[in-house]
Structure 1
Amino acid sequence: MSSLAPILNAGFAFAAEQLPRDTRPVLALRPSSYSCCQYEIVTARYMPAYRPLAPWRELSGDDLVDSGSDQVLAWVYADAILIPGSAL
């Protein structure tokens, strides 16, 4: 996973070591199912109380697997990008 070094250095948390503390939106890095790239970034929420067996959800509430891989490798809170005027 040395190719993840630039992402982790940019403030992303490695999902195997740290998960979001709440259900605020995040930018989540996951393996891509497309041949043109190794990873893709999606907006998501971590919701273990809603679906314990599939806690990573799209903003609509659907499972991430509905749009590709549900394996999240790294994440960062997305408040500042998605909600104008908010602070991280």
Structure 2
Amino acid sequence: MEGRFRPQDPGGGSARHAGLPIREDQEGEVVVRPGDSLWTIAAEHLGQRAAPWEIAAEWPRWYEGNRDVIGQHPGRLRPGTVLRRPAETHHGPSPS
């Protein structure tokens, strides 16, 4: 049908990170870059199709797993800080 809205995948990355090298995990570690937040880091690791509710559930896991290097204020990440990726969560029935 003509004239119908067709959403497109925006592709690419954040304009905030334009020109920066692609973030590469080193054995499950992430280095904080200027402008990063736990929300943006969690969103990046969940992928482009992550829903806001998924990101909202994920970023506290990043904080809990890295509280020792982040400190009491999860909104104050310091560039260069090395964060550990949280353990994978498994959904579904537990193995017997």
The answer to whether the superposition gives a TM-score over 0.5 is: no
Structure with the largest fraction of helix: 2
Larger Rg: 2
Task: Tell me which interval the TM-score lies in, with the shorter structure as reference length.
Answer: under 0.3
TM-score (norm 1): 0.24
Instruction: Normalising by structure 2, report the TM-score.
Output: 0.23
Higher relative strand content: 1
